[in-house]
Structure 1
Amino acid sequence: MPRARTALLTTLALLAFAGNSLLCRLALKGTTIDAASFTIARVAAAALVLWVIVMARRQRERASGRDGSLGGNWLSALALFCYAAAFSFAYLRLNAGAGALLLFASVQATMTGYGLYAGEPLRAHQWIGLALALTGLVWLLLPGLATPPLHSSLLMIAAGIAWGIYSLHGRRAADPVSTTAGNFVRAVPMALALGAVMQAERSLDGAGLGYALLSGAITSGLGYVIWYAVVPQLRAATAATVQLSVPVITAVGGIALLDEALTFRLALSAAAVLGGIALVIAGKRRERA
Structure 2
Amino acid sequence: MNQGPTCPPACLALAHAMADAAAQVIRPHFRTRIAIHAKADASPVTMADRDAEAVMRRMIEAQFPDHGIRGEEFGTCRIDAEWVWVLDPIDGTKSFVSGSLAFGTQIALLHCGKPVLGMINQPITGERWVGAEGVATLGREPIRTSERTALDQAILYTSALEQFDRPRHDRFSALAASVRFTRLSHDCYAAGLLALGGIDLLVESDVFDYDILPQMPIVQAAGGIVTDWEGRLLKDAPSYATVLMAANGELHRAALDVLCRA
Q: Same fold (TM over 0.5)?
A: no
Q: Which has the higher helix share?
A: 1
Higher Cα Rg, which structure: 1
Query: RCO greater where, 1 or 2, for CA within 8 Å and sep 6 or more?
Result: 1
Q: Under a length normalisation based on structure 1, what TM-score does the superposition of the two structures give?
A: 0.29
Q: Under a length normalisation based on structure 2, what TM-score does the superposition of the two structures give?
A: 0.31
Q: Which has the higher strand share?
A: 2
